[in-house]
C-alpha cells in the first residue's frame, strides 16, 4: 500500500456498475472477491460480471437501526444492538440496454417479439413469428440457422431461448426473467422474458454473428431464435428481478472503492428522470432504486447485505 496516498480521500469522477446473475432456483448469488479481483480492468470485468456502464446519482442509504439497551435508574445505555438491518441503493443508468432496462424496471422485462402478420394486438406484443431452431455448431457468439438466417438482418436484436412447454417456477436461460405461477399457453413465453439477447453484427453462410456473446453462453439444441422489435415493461406486474451488483469508483491515484451487493431487488417501479441535453433537448435517464437482501459471509457466517472494500494498486 502506498503510504503517500492511503490517507487521501478518493477523488472520483464517476461510478461504474456491473451485473452478475443470481441463481434464483438455488438462491445462489454471484460473489465478488475484492482481494482477488479488486483491480480488474474496468472495461473487462472478470466472468461472469457484465459491464452496465457508467451510472450517475449513485446514492446509498442504510436503514439499519441501532438501539441502545438501557438499564438502571435513570436508564443508561449499557450496550447496543442492531434491531433491524436494511440498505437501499438509488442510481441512474446512463445507457438504455436490455439489462439496464430490466434492472430499472425491476420486474419482467418483455422482449417485443416480431409479430405474425395480422396478429391480434397485445400490450406486450402479439403472437410472434415462429422461432427458428438452432443447428449444430452454434456458439455463444455465432448462431447456425441455415437458410433461415436470411430472415434476419444485420443490426437486428434476437433472443435465444427454449420453447415454453408448461414449465412452472423461474424461467429464462442465464438469468431468470420471470416466475411462472400457473401454466401458460404461449410457446414463446420464455423468449418473451429471456435476458439471453444479442444484436446481429454479421450474417454469412447461414450463420449470424452477434456483437457480444450470449449471456447464457453456448446455446443448447433446444433453444430457438426470435427477432426482437424492442423491449417492454409493465407497471403492475408481479415478478421481482434480483441481481448481484458491483459498483466501482476509481480514485485519481489508482485506488478504488467497491460496493458489492450480492442480492439486489428493485424497490420501485420503472421511472425516468430528465437532464438538460443541450439544444433544448432533454436526456431521458432511467432511474432505479434497489433494496439489498442478505447473504451469509463464508468467512464467519455473518448475515450481511453489502460489502464495501477499499483497494489500492
Partner 1 sequence: MQNAKDTFYEMLRSRIAAANPERTIVLRGVTRPGVLVEENEFVSAVTVADCFRLRWIDASVNAENALPVATLTCEVLYETAGTAGNVGMDRGRLLTQMDAELAAALNAWPQKTAKQNYAALATGGSAAAMATNIWWSDVVLGPLVVKGDRFARTAKVTVMSCEEAGEL
Contact residues for partner 1 (CB under 8 A)?
2, 4-5, 7-9, 11, 13, 252-254
**CB-nearer residue toward partner 1: 4 or 185:** 4
Write the burial class of residue 301 (CB in 10 Å: 0-12 exposed, 13-18 middle, 19+ buried). Answer: exposed
Of the pair 11, 31, the CB lying nearest partner 1 is at 11
Shortest reach from residue 14's CB to partner 1, in Å = 10
Cα separation values, 258 from 92, 179, 182, 213, 250, Å? 18, 31, 40, 26, 9
For residues 123 and 137, give the distance between their C-alpha atoms in angstroms, rounded to a whole number: 36
Residue with cell 456483437: 211
> In Å, how far are 112, 171, 273 from 94, measured between CA atoms?
22, 28, 11
Rounded Cα distance between 17 and 246, Å, is 6
CA distance 144 to 136: 7
Q: How far is the CB of 252 from partner 1 (least distance, A)?
A: 4
Residue 310 CB: number of other CB atoms within 10 A? 14
- CB of 93 vs partner 1, minimal distance in Å: 19
The least CB distance from residue 196 to partner 1, in Å, is: 30
The three three-digit cell numbers of residue 285, written as one number: 435517464
Nearest distance from residue 186's CB to partner 1, in Å? 44
Q: How far is the CB of 275 from partner 1 (least distance, A)?
A: 16
Distances (CA, A) of 243 to 85, 89, 289: 19, 13, 13
User: Would you say 42 or 296 has its CB closer to partner 1?
Assistant: 42
- Residue closer to partner 1 by CB (options 11, 183) is 11
Amino acid at each position: 500500500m502506498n503510504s503517500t496516498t492511503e490517507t487521501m480521500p478518493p477523488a472520483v469522477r464517476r461510478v461504474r456498475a456491473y451485473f452478475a446473475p443470481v441463481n434464483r432456483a438455488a438462491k445462489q448469488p454471484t460473489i465478488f472477491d475484492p482481494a482477488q479481483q479488486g483491480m480488474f480492468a474496468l472495461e473487462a470485468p472478470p466472468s461472469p460480471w457484465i459491464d452496465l456502464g457508467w451510472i450517475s446519482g449513485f446514492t446509498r442509504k442504510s436503514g439499519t437501526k441501532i438501539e441502545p439497551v438501557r438499564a438502571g435508574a435513570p436508564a443508561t445505555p449499557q450496550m447496543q444492538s442492531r434491531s433491524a438491518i436494511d440498505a437501499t441503493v438509488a442510481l441512474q443508468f446512463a445507457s438504455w440496454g436490455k439489462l439496464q432496462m430490466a434492472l430499472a424496471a425491476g420486474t419482467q422485462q418483455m422482449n417485443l417479439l416480431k409479430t405474425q402478420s395480422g396478429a391480434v394486438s397485445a400490450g406486450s406484443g402479439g403472437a410472434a413469428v415462429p422461432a427458428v431452431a438452432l443447428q449444430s455448431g452454434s456458439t455463444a457468439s455465432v448462431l447456425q440457422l441455415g437458410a433461415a438466417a436470411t430472415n434476419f438482418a444485420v443490426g437486428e436484436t434476437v433472443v435465444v431461448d427454449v420453447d415454453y412447454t408448461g414449465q412452472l417456477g423461474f424461467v429464462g436461460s442465464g438469468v431468470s426473467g420471470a416466475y411462472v405461477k400457473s401454466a401458460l399457453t404461449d410457446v414463446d413465453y420464455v423468449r418473451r422474458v429471456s435476458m439471453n439477447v444479442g444484436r446481429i453484427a454479421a450474417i454469412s453462410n447461414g450463420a449470424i454473428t452477434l456483437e457480444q456473446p450470449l449471456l447464457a453462453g453456448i446455446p443448447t439444441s433446444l433453444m430457438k431464435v426470435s427477432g426482437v422489435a424492442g423491449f417492454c415493461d409493465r407497471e403492475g406486474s408481479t415478478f421481482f428481478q434480483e441481481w448481484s451488483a458491483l459498483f466501482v469508483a476509481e480514485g485519481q491515484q489508482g485506488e478504488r472503492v467497491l460496493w458489492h451487493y450480492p442480492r439486489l431487488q428493485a424497490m420501485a417501479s420503472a421511472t425516468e428522470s430528465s437532464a438538460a441535453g443541450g439544444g433544448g433537448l432533454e436526456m431521458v435517464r432511467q432511474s432505479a432504486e434497489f433494496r439489498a437482501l442478505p447473504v451469509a459471509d463464508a468467512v464467519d457466517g455473518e448475515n450481511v447485505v453489502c460489502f464495501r472494500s477499499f483497494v489500492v494498486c
